[in-house]
């Protein structure tokens, strides 16, 4: 017949396995969250750069239109110069031509500057898209694959928790409550073996002889005087 102490030890084994699997799930979820965060940031970068490009393209179109309008105005001014009647009108016309030519140079400089900025942004957008693609295929695993892996582990956990609960139901309620309390306080390790030297495997403190005898001979539920974990009889020391 299985003793309560043996049932606790088996329950501890199941809980240890569940804890390790839960930590694995959390690790995958954390990695997935970080990847999604990085991908969202990369997409936001692409969107931001694309918005800047759209604005600059509009500005470039306006600059091109301004250059075209100024060139048309310059053409009309030169035509009018051919019809001037006196020196004063000639000088005034020439001044207008000179002024328009200066505006054209400034507008063309602005146009070229905007063209360069658009080209630079397009290069930045392509780089950001490449970064996004790299993130999406990081570790040769797509986000969908990572999500499927997490879902699979969660289903395994669900089945193992059912097994765990069935095992726990067979343990006396007061003892089970004590076990759960120690499990929480001792970070998932409530039942530990006593090693061949008679030490607690949890904290490596020497177990008092009387307690050691009770645990090994009678399977009585006893705790380590130092860490308060429940003791399970391990392999006794070899006799010479």
| Cα gap 131→127, rounded to integer Å | 6
Bridge-partner residues for 200, per DSSP?
Answer: 194
Q: What percent of the chain has pLDDT over 90?
A: 66
87 CB contacts (<8 Å, ≥6 apart)? none
Largest Cα span, the chain: 133
pLDDT at 143: 64
- Identify which of 232, 188, 162 has the alpha carbon closest to the alpha carbon of residue 9: 232
Task: Give yes or no for residue 1 having a pLDDT over 50.
Answer: no
Topology given in CATH for the domain delimited by 4-171: Helix Hairpins (1.10.287)
pLDDT at 140: 52
Asked whether 203 and 195 are in contact (CB, 8 A), the reply is: no
pLDDT at 141: 59
Q: How many residues in total does the chain contain?
A: 240
Range in 77-86, 140-149, 228-237 the model is least confident about: 140-149
Bridge-partner residues for 25, per DSSP?
Answer: none
| pLDDT level of residue 134 (50, 70, 90 thresholds) | confident
Buried b (16+ CB within 10 A) or exposed e, 208-235: eeebbebbbeeeebbbbeebbbbbbbbe
Cβ count near 15 (within 10 Å): 22
* pLDDT tens per residue across span 184-209: 999 999 999 999 999 999 999 999 99
| Cα gap 130→120, rounded to integer Å | 15
Q: What percent of the chain has pLDDT over 70?
A: 94
Q: What is the phi/psi pair of residue 97, to 5°?
A: -60, -45
* pLDDT tens per residue across span 34-78: 888 888 999 999 999 999 999 999 999 999 999 999 999 999 989
Average pLDDT (109-116) is 96
Q: Going by DSSP bridges, is the β-strand pair 191-193/230-232 parallel, antiparallel, or unpaired?
A: parallel
Structure tokens at 139: 């570790």
| pLDDT level of residue 239 (50, 70, 90 thresholds) | very low
Asked whether 27 and 67 are in contact (CB, 8 A), the reply is: no
For the chain, the average pLDDT equals 90
pLDDT at 219: 84
Asked whether 235 and 196 are in contact (CB, 8 A), the reply is: yes
Computed over its alpha carbons, how large is the radius of gyration of the chain?
40
Q: Where are the domains of the chain?
A: 4-171, 172-240
Higher pLDDT, 61 or 135: 61
Asked whether 195 and 187 are in contact (CB, 8 A), the reply is: no
> Tokens 């328009």 identify what position?
100
DSSP 86: S
Buried b (16+ CB within 10 A) or exposed e, 27-56: eeeeebeebeebbeebeebbeebbeebeeb
């Amino acid at each position: 017949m299985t003793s309560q102490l043996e049932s606790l030890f088996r329950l501890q084994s199941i809980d240890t396995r569940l804890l390790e699997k839960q930590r694995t799930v959390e690790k995958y979820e954390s990695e997935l969250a970080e990847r999604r965060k990085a991908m969202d940031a990369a997409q936001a970068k692409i969107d931001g750069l694309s918005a800047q490009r759209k604005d600059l393209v509009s500005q470039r179109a306006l600059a091109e239109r301004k250059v075209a309008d100024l060139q048309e105005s310059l053409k009309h001014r030169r035509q009018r110069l051919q019809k001037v009647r006196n020196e004063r009108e000639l000088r005034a016309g020439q001044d207008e031509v000179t002024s328009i030519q200066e505006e054209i140079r400034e507008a063309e400089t602005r146009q070229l500057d905007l063209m360069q900025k658009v080209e630079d942004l397009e290069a930045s957008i392509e780089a950001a898209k490449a970064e996004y693609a790299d993130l999406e295929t990081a570790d040769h695993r797509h986000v969908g694959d990572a999500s499927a892996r997490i879902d699979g582990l969660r289903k395994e956990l669900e089945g193992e928790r059912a097994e765990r609960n069935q095992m726990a139901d067979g343990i006396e309620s007061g003892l089970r409550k004590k076990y759960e309390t120690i499990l929480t306080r001792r970070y998932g390790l409530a039942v530990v073996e006593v090693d061949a030297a008679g030490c607690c495997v949890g904290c490596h403190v020497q177990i008092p002889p009387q307690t050691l005898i009770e645990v090994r001979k009678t399977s009585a539920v006893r705790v380590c005087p130092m860490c308060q974990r429940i003791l399970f009889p391990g392999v006794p020391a070899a006799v010479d």
